[in-house]
Every structure is written in structure tokens, then in C-alpha cells.
Structure 1
């Protein structure tokens, strides 16, 4: 069958971006119904087609024509056909789990599906999002804590913003702790927030009995859809990736991007203008300072082995990478790129109020204005200006003559100062050390009682002050990169 007749027979005579390129790439001149899948449909809002929307089978990426139509031959191994929600439209969701996909696994013949969107009533150039890293529930009690603390905290935070402020969330992996029955509770928590959450697969969200990595996400896909995809809001292009590669035995995994996924990302980004701000969300951080702090080689399960291949694809853009996994809070920045590795919602696996580096259990909050992003760390059950903790002199047993200060969201563009009895004394001394409260709560084989494997971790966001013998009051002033100042004092 000639291509012109083929197009006429499926109802289109021109203008479809996808189908001619597929025919050219595959060399097919006809459609073999028994072993191929033709997917077609529209992306529409209020009955009108939306042009230029990316639609994909997870392998190739196509765009809708001027009438909002798409049609292409899906890859035979495709699990879903899905779209990249365009800016200006609400996120279609079911109980606040986004529904931007349709399952096609095992289908053959012709499959039609229209993606229906609702136009936003407010300008999405200004919007906010939160990153929840490692909710990681292993018991009903953990689930109850998530709902009673983090959900309530987030709802209270949103009330501090003007009405109709746009929010969405990123569940940054390890949504549960190998207990898939608690996906139900995670979903209930998300629904309670009233905010759509896009979800990332973590190493504790994988099917550990699968034969290879190819099948390690079957349960996750049933719950949340594709493991890698993109969407848009305002001027920001968001990407979610799966960087947890299961090696097929026990709970072993490495941080790694498959070629299939990187090739998909390359195709997705061809429709994103250079210079655009791109927010990449994944579970295992691409890189951290932990190996240097601990004077050890990189752990294959702690960072992404082929991260430089990702960086190369992202070189034309202004990039923020959102990650979890480590249960500590830190960031790094180089050239066009900054990675935010988040402290966890669960703290130290729901055993106490802080992570192993002293970061309070909580989540990242990001405020978007056009292509610019500002951020802060929100500690659960604390005011949003709670950004540092001062310890009494001698509380850190390794520095008995000094006052330790933990400034968990510190990065190299913060300015840290201290005053003694109102007199400016300059910058405190930064050290790689363990948070003294984390030592008290978690260090040693008997602590914490709930999960004895938890230990304090070395961090770079600790600062030390040696007061004069007669000092009565020490004040620490921390100014973040956006010019906002946080101040705490301690009496001696």
C-alpha cells in the first residue's frame, strides 16, 4: 500500500508530524495489523486541538500538528503512549496522581486516544513546587506519621501563599520501603494535600524478584505510569528520569541511565529551546560530596556512573537537578547546572526529627518566576524561616571549646557571620564533621532503637565558633543567595 493511500485510509491527508517520519525510519510502506500498533488521536481543550504537543511511546517523540492530531506506529515493546503536558494547562489527575498516559502494552492494530486538557485560569509563569524525597514507609505507623505531620505541614504552608497559587509536587523516589501495600497510603497522603504529585521510581520502589532491570518497574508502572517522562509549566521544562538500575539479584542496584532513556531524552529536548530552564527529577543523585568527605571511592549505588552523558545532553540549558536517596541535604553547582540533593521527608527512616547530617526532616520548596527559580528548605512542624540550629558550647564532644551551628541548606553563595555580645566577629569556621544531635540520637550499634543501622553522617554544612571567656551572647546571621537573612542567638 502506498503511503498516500495509507494516510487517506486512516483519515489524514497531510500535516501529521509523526507518521511520515516513522514510515521513513522503519522502511514500512504499509501497516501489518497483526504485529504493529498504530496509535492516533488528538490533544484537545474545549473541543479544540492543541498544536506542538510532544507525544511519545517512550522511544520516539512526536508533536501534534496544527489541529492537535498525532498518529504514529508505536514501538512493539511500548508500555504507554503519553504526552508532555504543555504550559498553560492544568495537570489532568486522578486523586492527584497525574494521568498524562494511556496503557498500550500488548495492544496491536489501531488504538485511538484523545488527551483532554483544561486551560488554566491563572498565569503559570509564576508557580511553586515541592520535592518530597524518601517518604519511605515500611509500617502502618510510618504511613500514619506521613499523613499526620508532612501532609498537614504542607497544607499549612500553602495557606501562607495567596489564594490560587499554583503548586505541584515531586515524589522523588523511595515512596515506600519495599512494602508495595503502602503505595495505597502514599497515594492517600498525596490526595490529602490537594496537589498533583509527579512521581520518581526509587530503589525501594522496584520489583526485586524481576529477572532484569527491564521488568523491575512493573508494579510502579501499574501505580503511577511511566518511569521517565516530561511536562511543562510556565517557562520551565520538567523531566522525570529513572536512574535506578537493578542488576537482578537481591537488592543490588547501581545509579545508571540506559541508552533507551538517554535517547528518549535527546528526542524530548529537541523540542525545547536552548537557554530554557530545565528541572530534572531523579532518585539517586548524579553526584555528591560524600566520597570526598568519607575519603572513599564512589559507591556505584550512591551516584550515577554515566552522569556525564546526561550532562552533555543538558549542556544547552539552565539546569536544576532534584534528587533524594542519600538522607542528607546538600547541593553543588557548576557551569549551567545545579543539583539539589534533598533531606528526607522521613528524616532518619521515621526514627527521629532529623536526618543523619542534622537536617530536619522536611522537603524542598521552589518558587518559580518566569525562568528563574528560588528555593528554601521547609522543616516539618517548623516555621519556614527555621534555617539553622545553634548548639551550646561543648555539645559537640569533638570540639569542646566551640559552639557548633548547622545551616542545612547552605551552599557556596550563602554568607555566614557571627556576633559576640553585639560585636561583629566575621565568619565562623566551616568544618567537615558530624552533627552533635545526630550523634546523640543515632551513633552506635544500639541506636536508634527502631532501626539500629542508622548512623550520623559527615557533612559540610557545620560551622564552629570559639567564644571569648567572658562572652554572654552569641548570634549567628546567615544570608542565603537570594538575600534573605536568618538569625539565631544563644546565651552562654
Structure 2
């Protein structure tokens, strides 16, 4: 075969490969003025709106119409523009996407309705990580422990909600039950897949999220609000037959989407990146990395020109802040803040139940289960907070910001080897934490990386029990990254002494908690030391 003919055949094959598995999609993004979800005569199109299959972008024209070749195995979604909202699907989730339909021409209209912006231009976002239900009993815990208290409080007047993966614990049949609970909050809700949301028995990564996509649509998508833009990415790469069976990373189609979409972002708006597996490495020494370094560096290179950026991740069932720098491949002017959010399920719905039958669910670092709240101002500045699912009312030692642990009684005059501990849930290495005894001077507490003593005591109670105290016992306490210690003086008068702790949160200022301990006199009863 002549060289020229060989080249021509090769080009034909490449062209065929590039269009194989594609469907011609066209549709219209329109202003749904009467809210019926149907494009009625006289309802205008909305120009400049992005529609995508998670790889290729199309943008609507002046008449609101778009047209492009989309993958026939991927949902097609609209990037909701700021100032608009979407109607709800039958399951209560936002109508952001159309299911893939292989072959031929596909029609996909999207209805948008005008949304009035808050007077201050701010945004309030509920953030859940790892609800991770494995049974209807867990769905009930999720409802009564996390969602119903929020619903009773008006959903904290949130504008948006996010779940950062592991919606279920390998039981995709529970998606409708979880959705029925979450949508009680009447807040538009976005979902990222986790490693426990993949289909059982998957043979490759491409086919691992069929059930998730059937319930939630795209695993890569974006959503725009006036104060912030949200980018949700599936970062679980399955490795069937490998060890481990998955790793953190991104696919080529996701990079193609990012390369096309990121340059269109307004520079004055915060970009919130939501993923399941943390971007920072959490592997023990000598173990494989938990996130592919090449993918992280490639992602960071694409994000380097984004001036306002926040990463939210889940997966770990502990809580911490991480500041990415040059060692992680981040080249921005300031460290990149990643908030690794504690789990809604805590320690997988384990631990002794309370009076209402809900498991304690404290995580291995001592953080109580609950949810995070992200508040974004109109200028892109943000605030984060953690909200425990429940705490004993009237107990000053357990607040939304921290809990304290201290001995109840010490011998007066004993060597001061015992301490009050403060687990400050949103604490970082530079958080200022102080304590005082009575009306004494405030003294700096020492940050320590050791197991939370309250959880260690709970482990001891589980050890001593002759029968299971709950379905599963609490997790073994592991070193916490947000624990502070202050030695308790024993040279005071006999009797009870108040202990007060204050922590200075970078977003919400001074937070306080208190407890008490007692000093007791005891006569010396020990005899002389024995001879060696």
C-alpha cells in the first residue's frame, strides 16, 4: 500500500474513533416563567449558558439553543448560571441533567427560573460528608440525627447543600431512601460519588458508577451562584483486582472539561472544589499514595490562576485542615486550603446508643459526627464551621466548637501530672487555645497529637462491658490533630475549682467551654519505702 494511502486510511480510522459513541444533542435553555417545566410560547431562551457531557462544552446562543456531539454513555447537564434556579425532579433533586440515550439525535431542554439574590449577596451551604448508610436503620439515624434537626431549624436558611461521597455503604438500592430524607431540607442538593458508591463487581473504572449516575446524573459537573462557583469531581479511580482497589485521581475526560471550562470563570468569585478522596496524601510510610501525584500536579496547574479557591473533601471519617504548598505541587501565591470534612455518619454509625437509640458515632480523632457549614460573602471571602449532630444540653464541657475532658478529683499537693484536654474541632496548628483556673490568668495550652482521652475512656468502657453496648463499638482512638492540653494545678485550696477554656477560631472568633475538678486532702498512710 502506498504511504499516502496508508496515511489517508489512518486519518479515516482516527476520525471514526473520534465520533464513535457520540450522539447529536440539541436543545434549549429557557426562562420558565410560569414554572411548569415546559417551554411555552413566549418564554425566552437564556443566552450564554454552558451545557456539557462532562468532557465537551456547548454554550447557548441568543435564542437559548445549543447543539453538540455528546458521549452516548454520559449524562448531559446544564451548568446552572448565577441568579437562576432549577425546578426539582420527581425525586426532589435539581433537574440539572438528562440521562444518556445512545445513538441518533437527542433533545434536551433545560428550564431555568429567576432567583432573587440575598440582599447582602452572601451564600450559605450545608456540607455533608459520608452519610454512608448500609441499612434502613442507618437511614433512620441519618434522618433523626442529621437532617430532621436541621429541617426543624429551617435548614439553617441554607441556599445549597453538598454531599461529598459515600452516600451509601455499598448498597445502591438505598439511594431513593437517602434522597427522600435529604430533600426534606428543601435545599438544592449536589452529590459527589465516593468509593462506596461504585457498582459491585465492577471490571473497570469507566463502568463503575452506573447506579450513581442513574440517581444523581453526572459525576463531573459545575454549578454557579452569585458568591461562588462549585465544581464537583469524581476523584475515585477504580483499580479492579489491584491493591488497593481504588486510588484518588482524575480521568482524561475530566481534564478536558476543566481545560475548556476553567478559563470561562469570573475571577472575582470563589471556586469551591468538591471531591471525595482528599487531594493530600494520607498513606502510612511505605504504603502506596492515596492520590496520584501526577494528577494532583496537573489539576493544580489548571487551578493556579484561580485567585479564590477552596477544596472540600471527605472519605477519612476524621476532620482536619490541610494547606497545600510547593511540596504538594501547588504554586499559588498563598497555600491552597483543603478542609477534610468530618463524616455525617461519624465512625460509620457505631458506638453506644443514646436514649433515642442513635449511636454515639464519635470519630477516631474525637470529632463528633455532624455537618459543616460554609458561608460565602459577596466578595468571595468564606467562613467554615462544624456542627455536632447532638450534644448533651446544659453541659458546658461540650459545645459546638469543642469538648473538654478532665479528671473529676485529684489529691491536693500531688505532682501536677494530670490535665484538662480540649478537642477543638476546627482547630489548626496555629490555633490559639488558652485556659484558666477560676478567675486566674489565661495560660496557653499545648497542642498535642495523641488520642482524645474522652474517646479512650469510651474504648475502656467498651472493653469492660460484658455485652455489646451497641451494634458496633466506638472506633479505637487515634492521635487527633486538634487536641490541646493544660496541666491542672494541685496547689490550690481543697474543694471544687472551675476550669475555663477559650479557643480563637479564625472565622468565628472566641469560643468557650468549661468544666470543674475537685482537690481532695488525703492523710499520708503509706509506710516507709521497702528496702531494695
Q: TM-score range by the shorter chain?
A: 0.7 to 0.9
Matched with 2:215 is 223
CA displacement, residues 212-249 of structure 1 (integer Å, 9 cap, x when unaligned): 01100011111111111001011311000011111113
CA gap of 1:434–1:36, structure 2 versus 1, over 3 A, is closer
- Alignment of structure 1 residues 42-53 onto 2, 5 Å: 42-45=28-31, 46=33, 47-53=43-49
Hey, what's the Cα distance between the residues in 2 that align with 1:279 and 1:148?
29
Matched with 1:441 is 458
Q: 2:507 aligns with which of 472, 482, 492?
A: 482
Q: Give secondary structure in 1 for the equivalent of 2:375.
A: strand
* Alignment pair present for 1:316 and 2:305: yes
Preserved contact between residue 228 and residue 240 of structure 1 (Cα < 8 Å): yes
Q: Give secondary structure in 1 for the equivalent of 2:230.
A: strand
Preserved contact between residue 402 and residue 464 of structure 1 (Cα < 8 Å): yes
Preserved contact between residue 394 and residue 403 of structure 1 (Cα < 8 Å): no
Hey, what's the Cα distance between the residues in 1 that align with 2:279 and 2:83?
30
Q: Give secondary structure in 2 for the equivalent of 1:280.
A: strand
Matched with 1:158 is 154
* Alignment pair present for 1:466 and 2:474: no
Hey, what's the Cα distance between the residues in 1 that align with 2:335 and 2:224?
20
Hey, what's the Cα distance between the residues in 2 that align with 1:379 and 1:357?
14
Matched with 2:435 is 418
TM-superposed deviation, 1:454 = 3.4
Q: 1:120 aligns with which of 112, 115, 119?
A: 115
Matched with 2:63 is 67
Q: Give secondary structure in 2 for the equivalent of 1:343.
A: coil
Preserved contact between residue 53 and residue 76 of structure 2 (Cα < 8 Å): yes
Moved more, 480-489 or 143-152: 480-489
* Alignment pair present for 1:387 and 2:401: yes
Matched with 2:371 is 363
Matched with 1:175 is 167
**Which 5+ residue runs of structure 2 have no aligned equivalent?**
1-13, 34-42, 325-333, 352-359, 410-415, 518-532
Matched with 1:207 is 199
Matched with 1:15 is none
CA gap of 1:457–1:211, structure 2 versus 1, over 3 A, is same
Moved more, 147-156 or 236-245: 147-156
Matched with 1:10 is none
Moved more, 94-103 or 122-131: 122-131
Hey, what's the Cα distance between the residues in 2 that align with 1:35 and 1:478?
57
Hey, what's the Cα distance between the residues in 2 that align with 1:246 and 1:117?
35
Moved more, 412-421 or 470-479: 412-421
RMSD, matched Cα:
2.8
Hey, what's the Cα distance between the residues in 2 that align with 1:227 and 1:404?
41
Q: Give secondary structure in 2 for the equivalent of 1:434.
A: coil
Matched with 2:188 is 196
CA gap of 1:315–1:92, structure 2 versus 1, over 3 A, is farther
Q: Give secondary structure in 1 for the equivalent of 2:114.
A: coil
Preserved contact between residue 394 and residue 400 of structure 1 (Cα < 8 Å): no
Preserved contact between residue 131 and residue 171 of structure 1 (Cα < 8 Å): yes
Hey, what's the Cα distance between the residues in 2 that align with 1:169 and 1:423?
44
Preserved contact between residue 243 and residue 304 of structure 1 (Cα < 8 Å): no
| Count of aligned pairs between the two proteins | 450
TM-superposed deviation, 1:416 = 1.5
Preserved contact between residue 390 and residue 405 of structure 1 (Cα < 8 Å): yes
Hey, what's the Cα distance between the residues in 2 that align with 1:280 and 1:483?
23
**TM-score, normalising length from structure 1?**
0.84
TM-superposed deviation, 1:346 = 0.9
- Alignment of structure 1 residues 19-34 onto 2, 5 Å: none
TM-superposed deviation, 1:464 = 0.3
- Alignment of structure 1 residues 121-160 onto 2, 5 Å: 121-123=116-118, 125-158=121-154
TM-superposed deviation, 1:37 = 2.3
Preserved contact between residue 128 and residue 166 of structure 1 (Cα < 8 Å): yes
- Alignment of structure 1 residues 234-273 onto 2, 5 Å: 234-249=226-241, 252-273=245-266
Moved more, 417-426 or 379-388: 379-388
TM-superposed deviation, 1:461 = 0.4
Hey, what's the Cα distance between the residues in 2 that align with 1:198 and 1:332?
23
CA gap of 1:186–1:400, structure 2 versus 1, over 3 A, is farther
Q: 1:85 aligns with which of 74, 80, 84?
A: 80
CA gap of 1:150–1:312, structure 2 versus 1, over 3 A, is same
Hey, what's the Cα distance between the residues in 2 that align with 1:262 and 1:418?
49
Preserved contact between residue 315 and residue 336 of structure 1 (Cα < 8 Å): no
TM-superposed deviation, 1:400 = 5.4
Q: Give secondary structure in 2 for the equivalent of 1:49.
A: coil
TM-superposed deviation, 1:420 = 2.1
Hey, what's the Cα distance between the residues in 1 that align with 2:109 and 2:339?
36
Preserved contact between residue 80 and residue 101 of structure 1 (Cα < 8 Å): yes
Matched with 2:357 is none
CA gap of 1:377–1:36, structure 2 versus 1, over 3 A, is closer
Matched with 1:455 is 476
**TM-score, normalising length from structure 2?**
0.78
TM-superposed deviation, 1:122 = 3.5
Matched with 1:8 is none
CA gap of 1:351–1:35, structure 2 versus 1, over 3 A, is closer
Hey, what's the Cα distance between the residues in 2 that align with 1:357 and 1:259?
36
Preserved contact between residue 413 and residue 480 of structure 1 (Cα < 8 Å): no
CA displacement, residues 115-160 of structure 1 (integer Å, 9 cap, x when unaligned): 111111333832211111111111221111111121122223436x
